[in-house]
């Protein structure tokens, strides 16, 4: 997996991402402490609203930046979004009112929505085909590892320097990440005629092309369905674990931290395993196995003990990343480079829309059906998996031709021979972006 760092351009992108992710951990812990300072007992409501603003920004802004990312030098977008977030985070120490907090959080996440899909779409254009999957796995491992250790580190820094001071450190991390990207000499662009195409199409058409390409691919439709499953079960874990550990099991903050660390550790292990086996196992089965693990974790989480909960959430973490990571890699492999920016942006918006459904559902189940909330989530996940399997049964075998002309020979039965020599003739085909499956029946080569 670490061999992908031999690519100097990817190594710089990866370093910048790791630095900014560490800064994000500081920001969100700082926001929690700032919310307590400003609102006291109403802090959970403030944080929930801030998270809602985050999701809204992602859903609205990501498709727009997808258009820009396929037409401009992505290096400018990556540097610009870091610098703007540096300035915005630098304003947080001066916040005195709730509306100021909401405004800054919303704008920060608008630029976060600009950065993340652009970064994801840039990895395929700076890596070789054999480097791409390990590079994405490394990025995932880093993200999950920092999500585990980041809050703890941020807590230490906050206790040492003070809650508001850590925003300065986060602001500095964005500046450092921008400087790292600035050292990349080559332009991060794709060679295409998007500008000419854009002049001939409406803005709405350009805005929705990422979604249309995403849903046109059978495998990616299957992946999105499983990500809905992952969001519903993941929402249960993120929203309702704290009340179960502290109220039902009557344990404390430390035990809650161990349980959530097990979930994050499972996601790290999944990325490491996938990096090792991704050449040998079909991604369809990796994702299917991940969905099964998450469902099993929910069904067995009916009034579990503390140790059982740790084990089940570890398995759920493995399942969650076994769904997410192959999806991100598949976009880079199945979508033409000229349109990856728009498709990654569309996927970013849709996957966060799933969480927009998952969080309220988790809150409702945790309030109205707390005794059976995990089992109900498992049942919903199982229903989604069954529907996905029945609807996209050919997901693992279907593939696409990207408008490439090719020739092949056909041999027909004697009753259907042409006058060509030996009954063999050649056809030239030009396939548009459509799905078809090859079926091989004896010596016949039929296209559907």
- 340 contacts 331 by C-beta, under 8 angstroms: yes
- pLDDT at res. 332: 80
CA angle 355, 281, 219 (to 5 degrees): 45
Q: Is the predicted pLDDT of residue 39 greater than 80, yes or no?
A: no
Helix or strand run (H / E) with residue 31: helix 8-39
Q: Is the predicted pLDDT of residue 201 greater than 60, yes or no?
A: no
Secondary structure class of 369 (helix, strand, coil): coil
Q: Which residue has the tokens 């070789």?
A: 128
- pLDDT at res. 139: 83
The residue among 116, 102, 232, 92 whose CA lies nearest residue 164 is: 92
Q: Is the predicted pLDDT of residue 138 greater than 50, yes or no?
A: yes
CA 299, CA 297: separation in Å to the nearest integer?
A: 6
The residue among 119, 99, 9 whose CA lies nearest residue 49 is: 99
Mean pLDDT of the chain: 78
Q: Which residue has the tokens 């480097």?
A: 131
Q: Is the predicted pLDDT of residue 168 greater than 70, yes or no?
A: yes
> Averaged over 100-119, what is the pLDDT?
86
Q: 370-399, pLDDT tens digit by residue? A: 788 899 999 999 999 999 998 875 444 444
CA 189, CA 187: separation in Å to the nearest integer?
A: 6
Q: Is 186 exposed, middle or buried (0-12, 13-18, 19+ CB in 10 A)?
A: exposed
Q: Is the predicted pLDDT of residue 33 greater than 90, yes or no?
A: no
- pLDDT at res. 405: 38
Higher pLDDT, 92 or 252: 92
Secondary structure class of 78 (helix, strand, coil): helix
All structural domains of the chain: 1-189 (1.20.1250.20), 211-393 (1.20.1250.20)
Higher pLDDT, 289 or 394: 289
Q: 271-286, pLDDT tens digit by residue? A: 888 877 766 677 888 9
Q: Is the predicted pLDDT of residue 22 greater than 70, yes or no?
A: yes
The residue among 135, 107, 109 whose CA lies nearest residue 120 is: 135
Q: Alpha-carbon torsion 302, 307, 309, 314, what sign?
A: negative
- pLDDT at res. 426: 42
Q: 292-350, pLDDT tens digit by residue? A: 999 999 999 888 889 999 999 999 999 999 998 888 888 888 888 777 778 888 888 88
CA 14, CA 20: separation in Å to the nearest integer?
A: 10
Residues making up the chain, counted from first to last: 448
- Position 240 confidence tier, pLDDT thresholds 50, 70, 90: confident
> Averaged over 16-27, what is the pLDDT?
84
> Averaged over 55-74, what is the pLDDT?
77
Q: Is the predicted pLDDT of residue 446 greater than 60, yes or no?
A: no
**Percent share of the chain, pLDDT over 90:** 20
| First and final C-alpha spacing in the chain | 38
- pLDDT at res. 438: 37
- pLDDT at res. 427: 46
CA distances for 373 relative to 80, 110, 129, 235, angstroms: 43, 33, 43, 11
CA 382, CA 293: separation in Å to the nearest integer?
A: 11
Q: Could you tell me which residues are beta bridge partners of residue 425?
A: 410
The residue among 25, 179, 20, 13 whose CA lies nearest residue 85 is: 20
* Of the listed ranges 122-136, 346-360, 430-444, the one predicted with least confidence: 430-444
CA 430, CA 406: separation in Å to the nearest integer?
A: 7
Please state, as a whole number, how many other Cβ atoms lie within 10 Å of the Cβ of residue 130.
11
* Helix 373-391 with 283-299: angle, nearest 10 deg: 160
């Amino acid at each position: 997996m670490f061999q992908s760092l031999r690519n100097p351009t990817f190594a710089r992108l990866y370093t910048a991402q790791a630095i900014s992710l560490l800064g994000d951990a500081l920001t969100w812990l700082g926001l929690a402490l700032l919310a307590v300072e400003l609102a006291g007992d109403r802090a959970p409501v403030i944080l929930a609203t801030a998270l809602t603003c985050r999701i809204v920004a992602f859903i609205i802004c990501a498709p727009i930046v997808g258009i820009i990312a396929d037409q401009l030098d992505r290096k400018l977008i990556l540097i610009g979004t870091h610098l703007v977030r540096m300035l915005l985070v630098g304003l947080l120490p001066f916040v005195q009112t709730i509306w100021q907090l909401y405004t800054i959080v919303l704008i920060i996440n608008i630029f976060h929505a600009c950065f993340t899909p652009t970064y994801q779409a840039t990895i395929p254009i700076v890596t070789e085909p054999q480097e791409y999957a390990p590079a994405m796995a490394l990025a995932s491992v880093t993200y999950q590892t920092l999500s585990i250790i980041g809050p703890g580190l941020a807590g230490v820094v906050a206790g040492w320097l003070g809650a508001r001071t850590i925003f300065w450190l986060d602001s500095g991390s964005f500046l450092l990440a921008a400087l790292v990207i600035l050292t990349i000499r080559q332009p991060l662009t794709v060679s295409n005629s998007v500008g000419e195409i854009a002049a001939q199409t409406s803005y709405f058409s350009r805005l929705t092309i990422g979604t249309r390409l995403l849903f046109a691919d059978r495998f990616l439709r299957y992946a999105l369905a499983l990500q809905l499953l992952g969001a519903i079960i993941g929402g249960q874990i993120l929203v309702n674990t704290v009340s179960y550990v502290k109220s039902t099991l009557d344990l404390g903050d430390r035990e809650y931290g161990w349980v959530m660390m097990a979930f994050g550790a499972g996601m790290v292990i999944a990325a490491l395993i996938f990096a090792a086996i991704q050449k040998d196992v079909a991604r369809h089965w990796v994702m299917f196995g991940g969905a099964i693990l998450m469902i099993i974790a929910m069904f067995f989480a009916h009034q579990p003990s503390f140790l059982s909960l740790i084990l089940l959430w570890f398995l759920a973490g493995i399942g969650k990343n076994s769904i997410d990571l192959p999806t991100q890699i598949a976009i880079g492999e199945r979508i033409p480079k000229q349109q990856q920016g728009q498709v990654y942006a569309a996927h970013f918006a849709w996957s966060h829309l799933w969480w927009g459904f998952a969080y309220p559902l988790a809150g409702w189940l945790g309030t109205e059906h707390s005794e059976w909330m995990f089992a109900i989530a498992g049942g919903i996940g199982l229903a989604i998996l069954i529907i996905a399997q029945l609807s996209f049964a050919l997901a693992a075998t279907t593939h696409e031709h990207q408008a490439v002309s090719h020739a092949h020979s056909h041999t027909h039965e004697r009753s259907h021979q042409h006058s060509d020599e030996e009954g063999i003739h050649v056809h030239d085909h030009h396939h548009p972006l459509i799905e078809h499956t090859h079926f091989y029946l004896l010596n016949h080569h039929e296209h559907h």
